[in-house]
Structure 1
């Protein structure tokens, strides 16, 4: 008789005592903590994007400095995320999460209180450092505390992350208008980051914890010396490249095809809206399948079909291309859950997560830059879309390598 499909992709889970009321309460607290942390992982970025013009005016930022501010997230994710394995070898993951959220709160608060460009950029970097470390830790926390529900919890926190980004982008300007200052539109979100600290405090304040804070990691795994590490990083990076390029340029493409600005913005928002149920279902589906290859191929095919459609009929088929692109970008939650599937141990999970996301976000930073440059040079969208199709083909090759059931420790 064939083994269950999930066993071919997943490492052997740790035993979980579901009968204990104390453990049940602790597990619920950890789940709440994970979802609240995820909710904060893009808010500091999308709220700033929505208010960038007001911030530029208020702080008298030059065009070059504004460019630095908009490029900082992917660079910070790569640079500061590399610290996560070092931190969890010295402190428990729960304490590192608390420190990351405190850094986010401090960065969000101080950057809206300053009139200095240098301090604004430095404190934005502090906030991004907290986000970067939390990015790396979430797959580890899910694997440790929910070994039998990794797909479901990964989908839930991906939805939380997406919802936070969307709400902040939509609400930052109204909040700023209501209080008469862009500082309120940015600073208000620090309250949500502070709330995300609370579920982790009981574990952090105790010397030991059986369920809410995992033990410190002492081993060292080097994904950069493995094929699966590089395949994961390239897969994550190429799908993120598409995501960032879409966020930066899709609305402009629709405007160039004849849509009004409001309609183009709604079509861009549709990518996120359709993507929410995809993000919830994709990780659980990955855990059930015998092989990840059908998912890798299907998602990439839909993404490439969307790009071809955007090149040939961007106006008439806009809704269809948005739906296809949204489904194709389900590669993001698939990549997140696969990090846990390609490591046998907590040490391997955090090392693979750090390497995948650090290198991946460096690759992703090329997306908006290259697409924008090609658009400026050619004045059209065929060459930029050709670049995105080429990136999607690289994604296919890396994804098929990731789909092989092997582990970073091996």
Structure 2
């Protein structure tokens, strides 16, 4: 990974989660741990520290793999779930909006929870919620219970999504770039894996959607295990560390104080901040609509259930290489307007193709949708470039993502409502196509080479 990618990804993602609502200082002080945990789990070369470092790296990767199957395993089986639970298309659209709602609500709550309990404890609880929610929803007897248990799993995803970068920056301060790369790849791999294998796995296990969704709880349990072991090792280290723990606490508190310095910006007075928030929300609307409805679009056109899952997996997998290359390209330019237009153009062609020739060009439309969805890493890159300091990046990122996820909630629900009322995909796809117009216009404003500090004085 190049230095530009490291810089933008670290600022826009790690700093966002690490300093959201200025909670990093308390988080670091709470999370000071055994021996060398105050700076890096591999510092000082102690066998326990090395073991903790490897274990924590594995925990991060396995947690990242579990952050998207809650959503992408449901898409290919959504029609079976709807039929069995007598779920309307509008309610199914609500399911596709639940991720955005949970990410907004529980994402805002994650820093406060970390301040109280520490990020490792909260991420461990989040992994437990993912595992329990995925397992329990496969036994749901009605739509309301299914929605609530899905929300439980997504609450775990939300807090882990916010705090995993905190863990990376706190315990791997000299390897932030490589660990963020590991985190990103694992997240994309989990997204594509669930989309690709859910249907064939369900068929192999007897054909029940309950088994096909519930089996992902095993992956959640596997991801939970290293976090539990990390907690046990840290507690054992504290009990025997004595003065070393005290030294670590001082280092952690000092690092937290440093991270928490800087003036609070009147960010709501920044037009660039609002533009980034709206751009984030519009691209998230399209992304979650695609993630939730793309298999249904293909299936209604005559594509088999298994192939529709593979097509969704292809759409998700396109983001793996592009998410590494695109930030580097975007960071080299003074502004990113060409990328805003180019990615939206891919989306327009893909939506028109799905409406006019969904089967004939299915693989091409899947690839173009994957490229269009790469507006997400572009947004993170622009967040990192639109502020002069890491503190400004953190405040901008918290504002843009919080506003953006709230904006994205109604879109997937409206897609489901339009689908139910028209019994077809022309109007929903037209809506998603038209939505790309304000995304481009607002994105052009957000992509200009400006700094929010200049706008708010």
- Which TM bucket (shorter chain)? 0.7 to 0.9
Q: 1:33 deviation in Å? A: 4.1
Question: Which of 285, 289, 294 is residue 245 of structure 1 equivalent to?
Answer: 289
- In structure 1, C-alpha distance between the alignment counterparts of 2:187 and 2:141, rounded to whole Å: 30
Say yes or no: does 1:215 pair with 2:290. Answer: no
* Residue matched to 1:318: 362
* Residue matched to 1:191: 221
Cα separation, partners in 2 of 1:349 and 1:96, compared to 1, 3 Å: farther
How high is the TM-score relative to the length of structure 1?
0.75
* Residue matched to 2:98: 72
Q: Higher mean Cα deviation, 299-308 or 141-150? A: 141-150
Say yes or no: does 1:129 pair with 2:155. Answer: yes
Per-residue Cα deviation, 1:89-139 (whole angstroms, up to 9, x for no partner):
555544443343344345445656887987765554333222112222345
Runs of at least 5 residues in structure 1 that lack an aligned partner in the other structure: none
* Residue matched to 1:227: 271
Q: 1:231 deviation in Å? A: 2.4
> Does the aligned pair in 2 maintain the 1:159–1:279 contact within 8 Å?
no
- In structure 2, C-alpha distance between the alignment counterparts of 1:374 and 1:347, rounded to whole Å: 42
How high is the TM-score relative to the length of structure 2?
0.68
Q: 1:381 deviation in Å? A: 4.0
* Residue matched to 2:35: none
> Does the aligned pair in 2 maintain the 1:152–1:283 contact within 8 Å?
no
Cα RMSD (Å) of the superposition? 4.6
Runs of at least 5 residues in structure 2 that lack an aligned partner in the other structure: 16-38, 239-244
Say yes or no: does 1:327 pair with 2:371. Answer: yes
- In structure 2, C-alpha distance between the alignment counterparts of 1:405 and 1:146, rounded to whole Å: 31
Say yes or no: does 1:164 pair with 2:209. Answer: no
> Does the aligned pair in 2 maintain the 1:155–1:281 contact within 8 Å?
no
> Does the aligned pair in 2 maintain the 1:299–1:330 contact within 8 Å?
yes
> Does the aligned pair in 2 maintain the 1:107–1:127 contact within 8 Å?
yes
Q: Higher mean Cα deviation, 298-307 or 178-187? A: 178-187
- In structure 1, C-alpha distance between the alignment counterparts of 2:292 and 2:61, rounded to whole Å: 26
> Does the aligned pair in 2 maintain the 1:30–1:200 contact within 8 Å?
yes
Per-residue Cα deviation, 1:14-41 (whole angstroms, up to 9, x for no partner):
9x99x96659968766654433322111
* Residue matched to 1:304: 348
Q: 1:194 deviation in Å? A: 0.6
* Residue matched to 2:242: none
- In structure 2, C-alpha distance between the alignment counterparts of 1:301 and 1:148, rounded to whole Å: 39
> Does the aligned pair in 2 maintain the 1:245–1:368 contact within 8 Å?
yes
> Does the aligned pair in 2 maintain the 1:151–1:284 contact within 8 Å?
no
Aligned length: 404
* Residue matched to 1:362: 406
Cα separation, partners in 2 of 1:315 and 1:157, compared to 1, 3 Å: same
- In structure 1, C-alpha distance between the alignment counterparts of 2:421 and 2:207, rounded to whole Å: 39
Q: Higher mean Cα deviation, 174-183 or 245-254? A: 174-183
- In structure 2, C-alpha distance between the alignment counterparts of 1:258 and 1:126, rounded to whole Å: 34
